[in-house]
Amino acid sequence: MSQENVEIVERAIAAVNDRDIDTYLACCTEDIQLQTPVSPIEGIYKGSEGIKRYFADLRDAGRDFQVTIDRLETVGADRVVGFLRLNMSGRASGISLGGDIPATNVYDLADGKIKRVRIFLDRGEALKAVGLSEQDAYADS
User: Phi and psi for 59 in degrees, rounded to 5?
Assistant: -60, -45
In the DSSP assignment, the letter for residue 65 is -
pTM of the model: 0.87
74 strand-pairing partners: 80
- For 51-66, b/e burial (b = at least 16 CB within 10 A) is beebbebbeebbeebe
pLDDT score for 39:
63
Domain 2-138: assigned CATH number: 3.10.450.50
pLDDT score for 133:
74
Q: Report the amino acid identity of residue 137.
A: A
- pLDDT tens track of the chain, all 141 residues? 689 999 999 999 999 999 999 999 999 999 999 998 876 677 899 999 999 999 998 888 777 889 999 999 999 999 999 999 988 765 554 444 556 789 999 999 999 999 999 999 899 999 999 988 766 655 544
* Strands across the sheet containing 113-120: 43-46, 28-36, 113-120, 96-110, 79-89, 66-74
- 8 Å CB contact between 119 and 36: yes
Q: Nearest CA to 140 among 72, 76, 91, 87?
A: 72
